[in-house]
Amino acid sequence: MTLDWARTGQGVARRTMARTISLIAGPTASGKSAFALELAARTGAHIVNADSMQVYDGLRVLTARPDADELARAPHHLYGHVPPSVAYSTGQWARDVTDLIARLPPDASLVFAGGTGLYFKALTEGLSPMPDVPDAVRAAFRARLAREGAPALHADLAARDAEGAAMLEPGDGQRVVRALEVLEASGAPLRHWQGRRGDPVLPPETIGARFVLLPERAALNARIESRFDAMIARGALDEVRALRALNLDPDLPAMKAIGVRELGAVLDGAMDEAEAIARAKAATRQYAKRQMTWFRNQFDATWQIVNAAGGTPPPTT
């Protein structure tokens, strides 16, 4: 079964016309949470997570999820609601947003805040409709990945879809498996589905202000440095220890959160803490740079650029 995005979008439209909906995007450590809280204080809005790592339970510190004081200042939704054992998709997030809007009062204002560009694309432009993949098919390819390794599955994909395989790195097990799953379940390659487009989760007329935080690079890097130091002080190492105790597949998205691999090496005795911290900070800086490039290239003139990290939101009218 394919998700009917047109019907979903129409349903959301009926429930959002009385709302004020604002969007806040930006790279990691740019001050999105503080910005969202200030905006929520002005409008009485609910804050909705739009970050693909902050959805995971057990990663409160390393993903910089809102703390108890911040949660008390405004209603927050879709934070930490997904077990780390789940490979949560953009499509599932979009469905969760639709369900959330259906549950909230029709006049409840919303602020979407996060750093995952595809989530904002889903909200404003729509997603490619994807076929359902039976659990048995998914499990079979996951088992093969664990048994044979990503390069072997990449070779299998190349034999069945050479063009699709050429677009993927042989070692990227997660994406190779996804391509094989879709091909097996639907008979069509992944790019066939990606070339189609559904309706946006939020119809354009329901969205008010759109902000993208793009701080100066030096200021952002300094914030990244101090924030990771604070994460260490708040127990990031213990958080990684607890996550690793679950013995999860290392290819799961939660296991790829910045800091998990680096601090895991400390726990294994393969790296000292100072080096792990330096590497995690460097990885965060590189990630922030990629995010900023993506936002600049993908967002149009309807997005208002805010330069100051954590600055005061401009008027929304």
Binding residues for substrate, by number, are 28-33
User: What is the DSSP secondary-structure string of 141-210?
Assistant: HHHHHHHH-HHHHHHHHHHH-HHHHHTS-TT-HHHHHHHHHHHHHHSS-HHHHHT-----SS-GGGEEEE
Task: Compute φ and ψ for 208, nearest 5 degrees.
Answer: -95, -110
CB 244 within 8 A of CB 259: no
Annotated binding site: 26-33
Token pair listed for 246: 């679950």
Distances (CA, A) of 291 to 121, 302, 305: 14, 18, 14
CB 55 within 8 A of CB 126: no
* Exposed e or buried b per residue across 129-144, where buried means at least 16 C-beta atoms within 10 angstroms of its C-beta: bbbebeeebbeebbeb
Annotated binding site for ATP: 26-33
State the Cα–Cα distance between residues 94 and 299, nearest whole angstrom. 19
CB 49 within 8 A of CB 74: no
Q: What amino acid occupies position 159?
A: A
